[in-house]
Amino acid sequence: MASGAEWDIILCRLVKWEAGSWPPPTADQTVMFLGEYLHTFDTKNRISVPSRFRKDLGRVVVVTRGLDRCIYVYSRKAWEKQAAQYAAASSGNAAQRGLARLFLAGSFEAEVDGAGRVLVPENLKVFAGIKEKAVVAGVADRVEIWEERAWKKYTEQIEREANEFAERVGPHS
C-alpha cells in the first residue's frame, strides 16, 4: 500500500449459522484456548496447566473422557454449557445416550492448585494411554490432554489429510 493511501473500514456482522457450514460461529464464545505444550505428569497424577490457560480455566475445572482417546478439560462455565447439551440428549437415540454416558459419567471436578497443576484421575490416564509425558493442547473452549506419541501420530495424519477434510467440511476463510 502506497504511503498516504486511505484505509477502508471493515465492518463485521454476526450471521446465523446454517447447518453444514464450517466453521460454526463463536460469537458467544469468550475464551479461546490455543497452542500445544509438552508436560509431564508427576507421581501424584498431577499435570501442570500451561500458564496461558490458567486464568480462563479458573480454579475449578471439569476433567472427562474425550473423543479420539484424549482427556478433555473444561472451565466450569464451558462445562455447564456442554453438560446441558449432553443431559438434554441423554434419553435420545442410542448414539446420544452413549455420548452422554461417555462424557457425563466419566467427568470429575478438580481444583487447579497454587502451582497451576490439576489432578487427573488414574482411570482417565489409562483411558488416554498416558504414562508420564503428555501434550496439553488448546482447542477452542476446552483443553485436551494427549499421550505424547498418540498426539504426534494424530497430528501427522490430520496434516496429511487436511486438504481432503477442508473439502468435506465446506467453504472456510
Encode pLDDT of 67-125 as tens digits: 999 999 999 999 999 888 888 877 788 888 888 888 888 899 999 999 999 999 999 99
Spell out the domains of the chain, with CATH numbers in brackets.
Answer: 33-156 (3.40.1550.20)
Q: With contact defined as beta carbons under 8 Å apart, do 130 and 40 qualify?
A: no
Question: What pLDDT, in 10s, does the model give residues 125-144?
Answer: 999 999 999 999 999 899 99
Q: According to the model, what pLDDT value does residue 96 have?
A: 84
109 contacts: CB under 8 Å, gap ≥ 6: 60, 61, 62, 63, 76
- The DSSP-derived string for 38-57 is EEE--TTSEEEPPHHHHHHH
Which is higher by pLDDT, 53 or 4? 53
Buried b (16+ CB within 10 A) or exposed e, 10-46: eeeeeeeeeeeeeeeeeeeeebebeeebebebeeeeb
What pLDDT is attached to residue 72? 96
pLDDT of residue 108: 94
pTM beyond 0.85: the answer is: no
Cα–Cα distance between 12 and 54 in angstroms, integer?
30
pLDDT > 70: percent of the chain: 81
**Residue 127 class from Cβ within 10 Å (0-12 exposed, 13-18 middle, 19+ buried)?**
middle
Beta bridge partners of 38: 135
